[in-house]
Every structure is written in structure tokens, then in C-alpha cells.
Structure 1
Amino acid sequence: MKLWYEKGAWASKKGKKVAAEIIPESVQSIAVIRHAAIGDMMVLRPFLVQARTFFPNAKITLSIINNYSYGVPSDLVDRVHCIDKKINGKKTSFMYRLNQIRELGEHEIIFDMADTGLSRMTCLLNSAKLKIGFPYRTFKNYLFYDIALLRSDLVPEVETLLHMLYILGAPKLVRLNYGYPTYETKRERAYIIYFTSASLGFKCWPKGHFLELIKSMAIRYPSIDHIILEGINSFEKVDDLVLQLSQYTNVMKQESLPLEQIIPFLGEATLVVCGDTGIRNMAIATDTPTVGIFFFTVPYRYLPINPKHKAVFNHDGTVPDIKSVLSQIELMDLLSY
């Protein structure tokens, strides 16, 4: 394999030499380290789909940590390797984790898509021919990897992960493939999903803003159902919000759903409106249009280059107002979907 880069990546002398001796069809085993939550697991899916094509004879092992096991794309890999950071609320010992790291086994190529202490340790202790990562700090290149990619918050992470294949000569994708089928709604009426929560409270758009937004949407789009999706935690309940919207017959609540149901539920929606959450990344993965509301995290990192996905944010990082969100939704021509 030729390493296809000039200045946008780094490779050691060993990395260049080993890569030149490898033919993608001859690779029998690769490992992907992704210690991350549900949204990041969705972002990983296009990489796994293309890795399967580029390394047609390789078995793919995905290494995760047990507290981030929800939404693992087990349907796209041959094996899932898990490291327990905690058991019954207690941190596991260094030796315990070390033994689990060794259970990953040996692989020809390892892709580290975590850049954590645990993932770097996993790379260090593995004798893979090629170790590929994307650390923020370049000094880690020499310590842990043979090939390293530039990582920027201004590039969608789904593309940054694919860069790890592009540098090896994989063809550039014109359209992202997340490995999900095309969903068509089975309901009589189209519906929009609103998810008011986030993993951290300070990432949540104010509930009062959601209240006024949904009121306006229910009036503007009376032929569409407006569904407020609950999360799994107690602070993610929406009964109070639904009660205040009870006069609108096209507004309703949907209790939290298991993964096998939430994916098609999102996939069949006309639009998903929420903040920076795993729900939004899941909707993107099912090819459902989204409007994401940002004011804390960098929007560009999770904004695919696709006009059906919008990011609402202010240049100064303040909380976007209701009018700004409405204006982006109106640009989407919902009735055409």
C-alpha cells in the first residue's frame, strides 16, 4: 500500500516500509479501538462499512469499554472485545485491565480511534504491523503509532475516521454508508421528533425554548405529528412539557425506546430537532434530516456536508433563540420529505 499524503499526515520510516509491503487483500485481521458513547459509535459505522470492502478478507475486531457498550455496531464487525473500567461501580485494577487488553489478541493493523490512556496502552502492548491513530498532540505519534492523521474539530469526525483508510489508498466516498436500510414511515401521518435532553445538563437547550418552538411548529404544520421523545434518565422526562402542550392535538409524547426500536423510529421521521446528542447522530445515521442546536460543543465536528442537516449556533457561543431554530427548519421544506 502506498501512503497517500504529502503534508496532511505523519508516518514513521517503519510505517512507510511496512505499508509498502502490505496488500489490502492479504490482510487477515484488523482491530479498531473506539472507547466512546452512542453518538461516536454511529460516526464509526461508515468506517467499518468501507473497511470491510477495502480489506475484504480481514476479520474485524472492535475494542470497547463496558460503560460505553450501548449502540455498539456489532452488526458490522466479527468480534467485540471489551475492557471493564468498572464492575459494580468499582474501578478495576491495573492488572485486571492489562489482562483484558491482552485478550484483544494480535492483529496486522490497529486503528486507535479513542486517543485515551487505555487505548494508547492497548496499542503499545500489541505487536501489530501497523498502528494508526489521530492524537491531538503530535509527540504521541512517535510513542504509540506508525501512522497518524491530523485531527481537527472543524472537520466532521466521520470523515476524519475515513481518512485512516484514505491514506492507505481506499477510494473516497461520495455518499456515506452507515449500514442501515432505507426506512419508510408506516404511520398515516408524517412526524417530527424533538429530543430535549443531552448527556450533560449544560448542553441542553432550555426547556422553555423547546416549549415555544413546539407550539409554533404545531400551529405551522398541523398535518404533521410533533413527538417529544423521552430519555432514559429521570431528568429526561417530559411530562411537564407535554402537559403544557395538551391543547395541541398533534403534539404527543414517546417514552424511551430500546435500540432496536429507536433506530427505525428515528429513520421513519420527517425531521429530528435536538441538541448535541447521540439521538442526533443516530438520526443522521438513518438518513433522517436533522436540526442540531449548538452553543457549547463545536458544531462542525458532527455536521455532515449534506444540506438535509442543519446546525444552529451563534458566532459568540450564546444560546440560540427560538426564531433562529424556526428559520432553519423553514428552509428545509418539510412537506417535500
Structure 2
Amino acid sequence: MKLWYEKGAWATRKARERAAAMSPESVRSIAVIRHAAIGDMMVLRPFLIQAREFFPNAKITLSIVNNYAYGAPEDLVDRVHVVHKKKEGKKTTYGERLGDIKALGEHDIVFDMADTSLSGIICMMTKARLKIGFPYRKFKNSLFYDIAVLRSDLVPEVETLLHMLYILGAPKKQVLEYGYPSYETDRERPYIVYFTTASLGWKCWSQDRFAELIARSADAYPDVEHVVLEGIRDYEKVDGLMESLRAYPAVRKLDPMPLEELMPFLGKARMVVSGDTGIRNMAIAAGTPTVGIFFFTVPYRYLPIDRRHHAVFNAEGDEPQVEEVMHCINGCLA
């Protein structure tokens, strides 16, 4: 395999020599390290699908940590390797973690898609012909990897992960594949899904603004059901929000759902409106149009180049006004 780059990546001389001695067909085993919540696991799926196609004879191992196991794409890999950070509520010892790391075994190629201190240790301790990463800090290149691609908050992360395949000569696809069925929008009872919180409080758009937005949306689209999805954490409860919307019969609350039910539900929705959260990435993976509300986190990193998906934000980084989000919803539903 040739390393397909001129200046936009980094590689050692040995990496070039080793890659040249390999072909996609000769690769028998790859490991993918991903320590992330469910939204970032969704972003990983197109990579795994294309890796399966590009390395037709390879077995794929996904290496995760046990506190971020929910939503891991087990359906797209041959094996899941777990490093336990806690067991029975207690932190694991260094020796226990070392044992977990060694269990990953030897591979032809290791892709580090976590860029954490733990993933760096895993890379250092794992034997592989090629180790590929995407660190923000350049000093990590020679410390942990043979090949590194550039990483930017201004590029969709789903594309950055695919760059690790492109540098080895994988073809670039025009449409991202997530490996979910093609869900049909429920046309008899169309509905819009709203998820009003996020993983961290400072990423949440205010509940008052969400209440106003849902009320205006219910007035504008009376033939559509407006579903407020409740989260599993205490601060993700929406009882207060629903109380302020009790005058709107088309608005209803939906309790948290298991993943196997949630994906089809999101996939059949007319649209999903949320902040920077895993629910939005799940909707993107399910093929449902999304409106994302951003004001602190960088929107470009999780905004695929797809006209079905929109991010509402302003240059100053202030919380978007209800009118701005409503304008985007109207444009999407037009």
C-alpha cells in the first residue's frame, strides 16, 4: 500500500516501508481504539463499514472502556475488547488494567481513535505493523504512532476518521453509510422529536427557550405530533417543561427508550431538534433530518456535509434566539 499524502499528514520512513510490503488483502487483523460516548460511537460507524470493505480478509477488534460501552457498534466488528476502569463500583488497579490491555493481542494495524492517555498506553503496549492516530498535539506522533493524520475542529470528525483509511488508499465515498436500515418517515402520524438537554449543563439551551420553540412549532405545524424525549439522568427530566406546554395537546412526553427501540423511533421522525448531544448523532446515523443548537461547542466537528442537517449558531457564540431556530425548522420542513 502506498501512503497517499504529500504534506497533510505525518509518517515515519519505516511506516512507508511496512505499508509498501502490505496490501489491503494481506491485512488479517485490525484493532480500533475508541473511548467515547454514544454520539462519538455513531461517528465511528462509517469507518468500520469502509474498513470491512477495504480490508476484506481482516478481523476487526473494537477496543473500548467499560464506562463508555453503551452504543458501541458491536454489530460491525468481530470482537469487542474492554479495558475496565471500574469493577463493582471500585477503580481497577494498574495491574488489572495492564492485564486488560495485554488481552488486546497483536494486530496488523491499530487505529487509535481516542487520543487519550489510556489509548496512548494501549498503542505503546500493543504489537502492530502499523499504528495510526489523529492526535491534536504533534509531539504524540513519534511517541505513539507510525502514521498520523491531521485533526481539526473545523472538519467533521466522521471525515477525519475516514482519513485514516484514505491515507492507505481507500476510495472516498460520496455518501456516508452507518449500517442502519432505511427507515421510512411515519406519514400517518408524523412527528418531530425534541431532546432538550445534553451531557453537560453548559451545553444545554435554556428550558424557557425550548418551551417557547416547541409552543411556536406546535402552532405552526398542528398536524404534526411534537414529542419531547426525556433523558435518563435526573437533570434531563422534562416535567417542568411539559407543565408549561399543557395547553398544547399535540405535545407529549416520551420516557427514555432502550437503544434497539430508540433508533427506529428516531429514524421514522420527520425531524430531530436538539443541542450538541448523542441523540442528534443517532438521528444523523438513522438518516433523519436534524436541527442542532450550538453556542459553546464547535458545530463543524459534528455537522456532516449533508443538506438534511443544520446547525444553528452565531458568530459571537451567544445562545441562538428562538426565532433563529424556528426559521431553520421552517426551512427544513418547507
In 2, the alpha carbon distance for the partners of 1:127 and 1:208 equals 53
In 2, the alpha carbon distance for the partners of 1:184 and 1:309 equals 17
Deviation at 1:187, TM superposition (A): 6.5
What does residue 236 of structure 2 align with? 236
What does residue 68 of structure 2 align with? 68
Gaps of 5+ in 2: none
In 2, the alpha carbon distance for the partners of 1:31 and 1:147 equals 15
In 1, the alpha carbon distance for the partners of 2:88 and 2:199 equals 21
What does residue 294 of structure 2 align with? 294
**Residues 1-337 of structure 1 aligned to structure 2 (within 5 Å):** 1-186=1-186, 188-332=188-332, 334=333
In 1, the alpha carbon distance for the partners of 2:185 and 2:270 equals 9
In 1, the alpha carbon distance for the partners of 2:310 and 2:100 equals 41
Code of the aligned partner of 1:322: V
Deviation at 1:88, TM superposition (A): 2.8
In 2, the alpha carbon distance for the partners of 1:117 and 1:309 equals 33
Deviation at 1:90, TM superposition (A): 2.1
Deviation at 1:185, TM superposition (A): 3.9
Code of the aligned partner of 1:216: R
In 1, the alpha carbon distance for the partners of 2:251 and 2:149 equals 46
Deviation at 1:218, TM superposition (A): 0.2
In 1, the alpha carbon distance for the partners of 2:73 and 2:170 equals 21
Code of the aligned partner of 1:122: I
In 2, the alpha carbon distance for the partners of 1:276 and 1:171 equals 30
TM-superposition CA deviations, 1:26-71 (whole Å, max 9, x none): 1110000001110000000000000000000100000000000000
In 1, the alpha carbon distance for the partners of 2:85 and 2:117 equals 12
Code of the aligned partner of 1:272: V
SS at match of 1:331: helix
Deviation at 1:249, TM superposition (A): 1.4
TM-superposition CA deviations, 1:272-307 (whole Å, max 9, x none): 000000000000001100000001110000000111
SS at match of 2:216: helix
Q: TM-score scaled by structure 2?
A: 0.99
TM-superposition CA deviations, 1:294-335 (whole Å, max 9, x none): 011100000001111000111111111101101111111x26
Gaps of 5+ in 1: none
Code of the aligned partner of 1:309: H
Code of the aligned partner of 1:209: R
TM-superposition CA deviations, 1:157-202 (whole Å, max 9, x none): 0000000000000000100000001012456211000000100011
TM-superposition CA deviations, 1:106-156 (whole Å, max 9, x none): 100000000111101111011100000001111111111000000000000
In 1, the alpha carbon distance for the partners of 2:243 and 2:265 equals 23
In 1, the alpha carbon distance for the partners of 2:59 and 2:45 equals 16
Q: TM-score scaled by structure 1?
A: 0.98
In 2, the alpha carbon distance for the partners of 1:14 and 1:89 equals 43
In 2, the alpha carbon distance for the partners of 1:85 and 1:315 equals 39
In 2, the alpha carbon distance for the partners of 1:98 and 1:296 equals 37
In 1, the alpha carbon distance for the partners of 2:211 and 2:185 equals 26
SS at match of 1:129: strand
Code of the aligned partner of 2:34: R
Code of the aligned partner of 2:64: I
Q: What is the root-mean-square deviation of aligned Cα atoms in Å?
A: 0.9
In 2, the alpha carbon distance for the partners of 1:38 and 1:187 equals 28
TM-superposition CA deviations, 1:85-108 (whole Å, max 9, x none): 112332211111111000001100
Deviation at 1:247, TM superposition (A): 1.5
Code of the aligned partner of 1:144: F
Q: Is the 8 A contact 2:105 2:127 kept in 1?
A: no
In 2, the alpha carbon distance for the partners of 1:208 and 1:126 equals 50
Equivalent residue pairs, number? 334
Q: Is the 8 A contact 2:186 2:269 kept in 1?
A: no
